[in-house]
Structure 1
C-alpha cells in the first residue's frame, strides 16, 4: 500500500512540474491619443493550441502590469484589452527562462470601420467604471456545473457552505438575470438552479435600488449585486429539480422547483416538506425570494426565521412545509410586473434546560429551569411589484404586499431558585396556551422624476401599513416561597388581546446640482405616523362559577398610542471616479401621545427634539483597493412597555413596571471597511470595524427580595458600547491546470459593555471575544476536494465591582469537509465537526458531529440516488455558555438525532439553443 501511494505521489509530482516553462512578462499600457497611462486594462495569456487561459492580471494606476507563472505549453499569445480601445495581441514562444519586458504598449481608440475585421475580446476580466465583468468561458468547471460552482472559481468571490456569497468580504444581497430580478433577487435559487453553460457574463456592482439605478445615484458600498447575462439563444425553456427521500426514525424529505423562461416572461413554482429540520431550500432561496428578510434570525444548526416565519434547524424537532409561486413579465414598453405567493408552515417540539448563576452585590443565587414547548405556525404571503417607466425621465414603482399568520402553541416551564448555600428558596411552575391570527397589509409607492441633464431629480415615497392581530391566551402558574415566611400563590387566567397598527410614512427628496454630475445638494423631508391600539381583557378563573369571569384590571389594558416623527434634513453629495462623500444633518421632532381608557389619569405625552447626523466617504485607490467610512448619530425613543408606569404581573416571580421618565437613547455609530485584491498573486484582504457608543441607554433596575422574587423597572445610563469587526486574508495557489490550494485566515473580534442595577447597586460588565479561523482547501478539480478549518473562540467577561466573578470562556471547533468523485459517477461527501467547550458545567463538554452522503449519478447525470447519514456518531449537542452583567448561563436543548435516509433527485433543463423547447414528463 505504501509503495502504491509513493508511486501515485511521484506520478502526480511529475505531472505537475515536468516540462513547465516559467515566465515573467512586464510592460506599461498607454493611450496612443493622449499618451496617458491606462489603469484597469486586462492583460491575459492564452495557449495557442486551444485558447485556454494561462493567467491574467489588471494594470495598476500607473499602467504597469506583470504576468508571472508557469505554462505547460511553449506557444502562447498575449492579449491586452480595455473598454473603448482596440485590443492588442502578441505571439510569444516560451523557453526555460522566459523573462520579457514589452516596454510601453499604446492602445488605439476603438475602431469599427466598414469591412474591417474586428477581433472580439476574450478577456477573462473587464472593468467598466464601477462594474467588474467576468467572461464565463475563461473559467473551467465540471461538466454539469451550476452558477454556484462557477462563482467559486472567480477571483475575490467566496461561496460558503450555506450558499452565502461575498465579494472581497462584501455580501451579495441581490442577484439579477439579464438585469432583472429572478425569484425576488434571491442569490441561492439562481446560483443553484441555473447552469453555467447558459451564462455568458457575470457582472458585479454595488447594490442599488431601482430608483437609485434610474437616477444614477451611488449604491450601497457595503453590499454587492451580481448580474448574470444569458445567451439570447438560451433564454427560453424549462428547468428545475425534484427530490425526495425516506429514512430511519420516520424521517422524510421532499422538494420540487419548476421554472419556465420565455424571454421577458418567467414563471416558477416550488414546494417542500420534511421533518429533518431542513427548510427544503436554502436560506437564500427563501430569504429574498418574495421580498422578505427584514427581521432575520439564523442559527449555527442551519435553521432560520424570516419576518416570523421559521424554516428548519434551530432547537427542537421541526416539521416544515413550504410552497410558492412567482411570475414576472413585461407588458409593452416600460411596464414590468412581478408577483409572488408563498406559504410556510411548521410544527415543532422542544425541551430546553438552563442553569444560571446570578451575582448580586452582597450574595449569589442559582436557578435551574426546564421548558418544553409545542408550536404550530402557518404563514401566507402575497406581494407584487410594478415598474411603470413613463419615459426615460419618469419612473413609478408600486409594491403592495399582504401577509396572514396563524399560530398556536403551548409551553410548560419549571424553575427553581436556590441561595448560595444551595437551599431551595422558591419554586415556580407555569403552563401557557396561545392562539393568534395576524394580518398585515403594506403598500409602497415610489415616484421618481429626473430633471434636466445635470443630475437633478425629485423623488416621493409613500408607504402605508395596516396590522391587525387577535390573540387568545391561557396562563396558569404556581409560585411557592419557602423560608421564614412561606407562601403559595396560584394563578389561572385567560386573556383576549387585540393589537392594531395603522402607519403612514412619506419621504420627499429634491436634488439640486451645485456642480454638474459631481456636487449635489439634497433637500429631504420625512413624516411618519404610527397609531397603535391595544386592548387586552384578562379574567381570573372563578372557582364558584367555574368560568373565567373575574376581570383583572392589573393585567388588562385599553389604550391608543401615537408615535409621530417629522424630520427635515439637508445632504451634500460629492462624487468623482475615485471619491464619494456625503454629509447629512436632520432635525428630528418626535411626539408620543396616549389615551388610556382603563387609566384615564395616565398621560404619557412626550415631545423629543434631536439632531441626526450622517457622514461617509469612499475612496477607490485603484482597481484593486478601496476604503469606506461612515459616522451616524441617531436617537431611539423608549418603547411603550418601557414607559407605561403600571406593573406587569404575568410572571409573579418577576414583576415588571415601566418608567415614564425615560429619555431617548442617543447612538453614535462608526463603521469602516477596507478591501484589496491582487489579481496577479490571487490574494485578497479585507477588514471592517463597527462600533456604537450609547448615551441614555435604557437598562433594567431590579430589586431581589430575600425570597428571590424580582421586581424590575427601567433607567437611563451612559457608558455602554458595542464594538465588533473582522478581517480576512485569502490566497489561491495554483499547482497546475487542475489542482489548486486555497488558504484563508479570518478573525472576528467584539467588545461590549452593558449595565444593570441590582438592589440599588449599578454593575457594569465588559465582555470581549476573539474568534480566529484558519481554513485550507485542496481542490483537485473533478476528482476531489478536501477542506479543513480550525476555529478557537475566546471570551472574557470583567465586572466593575464583583471582580471575583470575572469569567474566561474558550471554545474549540474543527471542521473537515471532503468530496470525492472516484469513480466518475459516484460522489462521496463528508462533513465532520468536533466541538470542545471546556468551561460548560452540567452538560457534555465535547462532541463529534459527522454527516456523510453517497450520491450516484444516473439518467445521463440528470438524476442522482443518494444515501445520507446524519450524526453518524450519535453525539449531536448544542450545549453552550454565555455571560451577562448579572448572570452566567449554561444551556442545552433538544437536537435532531441520528438517522439514515435514501433519496432520489432529478434536475432537468431545456434552455436550449435558439429557444427550442424539449418536453419533459416527470414525477416522484
Structure 2
C-alpha cells in the first residue's frame, strides 16, 4: 500500500511539472462606436490543428483578456458580445516568439443578440452564468451504461458520497430537475442513480431562489442548491433507458428497469428495482441512497409525468412505492462521561425490520389571467414499519454491573399530507407585486411496541432481578399551517421595498398508553400511570417585517428586519396542568452578492431564526423502552434562536478551466436545547441515564470547505481535484449536574485524479480525516481518532467492445480502541462485452473479492463516545445483462396518411442509425444504469 501511495504522489508531481509555460496571447476588446473598453465580452480560443477548444474566458473591466500556457501552433480567437458582431481572429504562437499581442480589437454593432460564444460541438467544458455553473457533459467521458451519478463524480466542485448524496461547492443538493421540470418530487437520488448519463447535454448547478422570490424578483436569501439536467436535443423526442437483470452466488439478484419517453414539452419516466445486494436508487430510506448497516432486500417502482401546455400551464405528477427488508447485526461500545463517573455500555443487537412507503406528489402552475398566476403542490405519503429488535447488554458502573436482554417489537404507520399554494399577482407598474403563500401539513404516527426486558443488577451485596413486560400504545398527531403575505413596491429602477407578514399555527397531540402484562388474564390490560400521558402543545406565531433590496450592475444587497411573537400553550391532560409561554424575537437578515466578473463572485448572507421544541422534548413523562436511558420532557423549554453567517466565494478561470470554491459557515445559538444526563442510582431503573432537555447558552459552531480543480492535460483529459475542509463545534450540556463543555473539531482532505478519455476511465484518490473531542467535565476522556482511505477505480475498453475494470479501496481506522481499530481492503472487479451495436451488455463481476469488507463507525459528541461495528455485504459473484433502449424520431400531432407513416418510420430509422453512428465515434459514452453486481461499499 505504501508503494501504491508513493506511485500516486509521483504521478501527481510528474504531471504538474509536465505543464510547460510555452506561449500566451493577449489583447483588449473595444467598441468601435465609442472607443471604450467592453467588459464581460465572451472570448474563446480554438486550436486549428485539431479543432479543440483550448479555453474560454471573459474580458475584465478594462476590456483585456489573456490566455497562457499555449503550445506552439496556429489558433483562432472568437469574441462575442450582446448586440455586437462576433469577431474571429487567427494568430500563431512560435517557439522563438511565444507571446502574441493582438492589441485593440474593435467590435461593430449587430442586430443579432449573442449571450455567449457558441461553437457547435465545441462548447467549453464549463460556463459560468449569473447563478448557474454549467458543465458540458461531452467534455467529461463516462463508461457505457453509466448513470448521472457517475458523471457528477467527474465534475469539479462536486462530491458524491457512498450513499449517493451530492454536494456542490460544499452544499447538499436538495433537488434534481430534468429540462427544468421536477423529477419524482424532492428526491434527487431518483434522477442521479437511474437516468442514463449519455442522455445528458448539460449539468447545471443552480443557486435557486424560492418560488416567491422568483416572482417578486427580491432575493430574500432563501436559496437552495439544485441540479438541472438538460437532455440532448436528439433525445427530446423518443424512448431511452436501460434495463438490467443480474443473478449471482448466494442467491444474490439485481434487477433494474428504466424507461423514459421524452418530447419537447412532455416527460414520462418509469423506474423499477428489485435486489438483495444493498442497492437503493432512491432517498428517504435507512441511509439515503444506501441501505445502511446490515443486509437489505429492496423492491421499488414508480412513474413520473411532466408536461407544459401552450398556455404555459405546467403539470408534474409522480408516484413511487418501495419496500425493504433489513437484517442488522450490531455491536456497540458506549462511554458515558458523567462528571467524575464513566459508565461503559456494551450491546449486542440483532434487528429485523420491514418498511413499506408510498409517495404521491403533484404540481400545477397556471395563469388565471395575464397578471395573476397560481401554483398548487400537494404531496401524500404513507409509511408502515415493523421491527423486531433483540438486545443483549452489559452496563458497567464500576461499583456494580447490570446484565440483561431485551426484546422490542414495533408495528407502526405514518400517513402524512402536505400542500402548498402560491397565489401571485403583478400590477401594471413594474416591480409592484403581491403574493400569498399557504403551507399546510398533517402528520399522524400510530405505533404499538411490546417491550420485554429481563436483567440483573450485581454488586458486592449480591444480585437483584428485574423484569419489564409492557405494551406501549402511542398516537401522535400534528397539524401545521403557515400563511405568508408579501407586497413589493419599487422605489427606483434598482431599489425596492418589501413588506411581509407571516402567521403560523402548530398543533401537536400526543397520546401514550402503557400497559403491563397481566399473568392472570394473559393480556396487556394493567395500565401503568407512570408512563401513560395525554399531552397537547399549541404554538401561534405572528411575524411582521420589511426589507430593502437593490440590484446593481455587479452587486445585489438585501437587508431586513422582522418582529416575531410566539405564543405557546402546553396542556398536560393526564396531570391537569397548563403552561403558557409568550416570547418576542427580532429576526434580522442581510444579503450581499458581488460579481467581480461573470466567473468570480462573493456572497455574504446573514439570517436570524427561531427553532421551537418538539412535543417529545416538552412532555414531562418518562419513556422506559430504551435499556440505556429514560428520557423525560421539559415543558419549560424556550425556543432556540440561531444567528447564522454564511460566506461563499466562487472563481473560475475559463481559459484554463480552473475552478475554486470556498464556503464558510458560522452559527451562534441562544437557548440551545441540550440534554442534562444523570445516573439513576435506585429503583427499577437503577443504572439507566435520566435524560432531560434544558436550555443552555455558549453554543456555537463553524465550518469551512474548499474545492480546487486543476486541469493537468489539455482538452480536459486529466483533472486534479483538491477538497479540504474542517468543522468546529462548541456544545454545552450537563452531566450529573456538572456543566460540561465539549469542544470537537475535525479536519479532512481529499485529492483526486480523474480522466476524461475515450477508452481509459480512471479515478484515483487519497482522503483522510482527523477528529478530536475534549470534555471539560472529564478531561481524561478526551479522544482523537483518524481515518485514511486511498482508492482507485480504473477500466479500459479493449477491441471488440470488451471492458475490463476494477476498483480498490483501502480503509484504516486508528485511535478507536480495541476491536475497533481496523484496516481492510475492498476490491471489486468486472469484465463486460457489448453486443447489438452497443444496445446489449453482458457483465461478469465480483464484489469484495478479498472478502474483507467491514462496517465500523465512531461518534464523539457531548458526553458520549460510541463505537459501532455491524454486518455488511461481503463477497459474491454476479452475471448480468443490460439492454439499452434508444428510439428517437420526429413526432407528428396530426393523423398520418399511409405514405406519411412510412416516411415517419424511415425518418425514425435514419435517426436511430445516426444515433448508432454517433455512439461508434464515442466509444467511451454509453447510457443507463450500471449492470448488476456493480460496486458495493456497504
CA distance in 1, matches of 2:762, 2:51: 30
Match of 2:691 in 1: 712
Contact 1:460 1:507 in 2 (8 A): yes
CA distance in 2, matches of 1:383, 1:241: 25
Match of 2:76 in 1: 77
Match of 1:701 in 2: 676
CA distance in 2, matches of 1:203, 1:94: 34
Match of 1:855 in 2: 832
Match of 1:32 in 2: 32
CA distance in 2, matches of 1:137, 1:549: 68
Secondary structure of 2:789's partner?
Answer: strand
Moved more, 649-658 or 434-443: 649-658
1:688 aligns with 2:663: yes
Cα offset, 1:769, TM superposition: 1.2
Secondary structure of 1:860's partner?
Answer: helix
* Structure 2 CA distance for partners of 1:899 and 1:175, relative to 1, 3 Å: same
Contact 2:181 2:316 in 1 (8 A): no
CA distance in 1, matches of 2:524, 2:139: 73
* Structure 2 CA distance for partners of 1:104 and 1:199, relative to 1, 3 Å: farther
Match of 1:488 in 2: 465
Contact 2:395 2:403 in 1 (8 A): yes
1:111 aligns with 2:90: no
* Structure 2 CA distance for partners of 1:179 and 1:313, relative to 1, 3 Å: closer
CA distance in 1, matches of 2:133, 2:663: 22
Match of 1:4 in 2: none
Gaps of 5+ in 1: 1-12, 114-118, 288-295, 298-302, 306-310
CA distance in 2, matches of 1:35, 1:185: 51
Moved more, 180-189 or 884-893: 180-189
CA distance in 2, matches of 1:642, 1:177: 40
Match of 1:512 in 2: 489
Question: Deviation digits for residues 787-827 of structure 1, max 9, x if unmatched?
Answer: 32222211222222422222221222111221222336122
Gaps of 5+ in 2: 1-13, 893-903, 913-927, 933-938
Contact 1:416 1:424 in 2 (8 A): no
Match of 2:763 in 1: 787
Question: Deviation digits for residues 454-506 of structure 1, max 9, x if unmatched?
Answer: 31211101122222232222111123222237432211111322222222211
Which protein has greater RCO, CA pairs closer than 8 Å, 6+ apart?
2
Contact 1:469 1:498 in 2 (8 A): yes
* Structure 2 CA distance for partners of 1:903 and 1:633, relative to 1, 3 Å: same
Match of 1:9 in 2: none
Match of 1:272 in 2: 273
Match of 1:669 in 2: 644
CA distance in 1, matches of 2:687, 2:793: 49
1:832 aligns with 2:808: yes
Match of 1:638 in 2: 613
Contact 2:340 2:778 in 1 (8 A): no
CA distance in 2, matches of 1:402, 1:630: 33
Cα offset, 1:178, TM superposition: 4.4
* Structure 2 CA distance for partners of 1:865 and 1:590, relative to 1, 3 Å: same
Contact 2:163 2:290 in 1 (8 A): no
CA distance in 2, matches of 1:82, 1:163: 40
CA distance in 2, matches of 1:136, 1:657: 54
Match of 2:881 in 1: 904
- Normalized against structure 1, the TM-score is what? 0.87
Contact 1:740 1:780 in 2 (8 A): yes
* Structure 2 CA distance for partners of 1:875 and 1:69, relative to 1, 3 Å: same
Cα offset, 1:53, TM superposition: 2.5
Moved more, 466-475 or 652-661: 652-661
1:304 aligns with 2:319: no
Which residue among 412, 435, 438 is the counterpart of 2:390?
Answer: 412
Alignment of 1:299-338 (within 5 A): 304-305=287-288, 312-338=290-316
Moved more, 439-448 or 452-461: 452-461
CA distance in 1, matches of 2:21, 2:579: 80
CA distance in 2, matches of 1:752, 1:684: 29
Aligned residues: 873
* Structure 2 CA distance for partners of 1:757 and 1:183, relative to 1, 3 Å: closer
Cα offset, 1:190, TM superposition: 5.6
* Structure 2 CA distance for partners of 1:70 and 1:621, relative to 1, 3 Å: closer
Contact 1:699 1:716 in 2 (8 A): yes
- Normalized against structure 2, the TM-score is what? 0.86
Which residue among 345, 351, 354 is the counterpart of 2:329?
Answer: 351
Secondary structure of 2:725's partner?
Answer: strand
* Structure 2 CA distance for partners of 1:166 and 1:433, relative to 1, 3 Å: closer
Alignment of 1:33-432 (within 5 A): 33-48=33-48, 51-70=51-70, 74-96=73-95, 97-111=97-111, 122=120, 124=123, 173-184=174-185, 205-218=206-219, 223-224=224-225, 227=228, 234-279=235-280, 281=281, 286-287=282-283, 304-305=287-288, 312-420=290-398, 425-432=401-408
CA distance in 1, matches of 2:396, 2:449: 30
CA distance in 2, matches of 1:341, 1:810: 43
Cα RMSD, aligned residues only: 3.4
CA distance in 1, matches of 2:141, 2:619: 63
Moved more, 199-208 or 840-849: 199-208
CA distance in 2, matches of 1:418, 1:146: 50
Contact 1:221 1:628 in 2 (8 A): no
CA distance in 2, matches of 1:407, 1:186: 20
Contact 2:418 2:440 in 1 (8 A): yes
Match of 2:918 in 1: none
Contact 1:745 1:775 in 2 (8 A): yes
Match of 1:731 in 2: 710
Cα offset, 1:888, TM superposition: 2.5
Question: Deviation digits for residues 162-211 of structure 1, max 9, x if unmatched?
Answer: 77666655665555454434444876666777778876666665323444
Match of 1:462 in 2: 438
Contact 2:738 2:777 in 1 (8 A): no
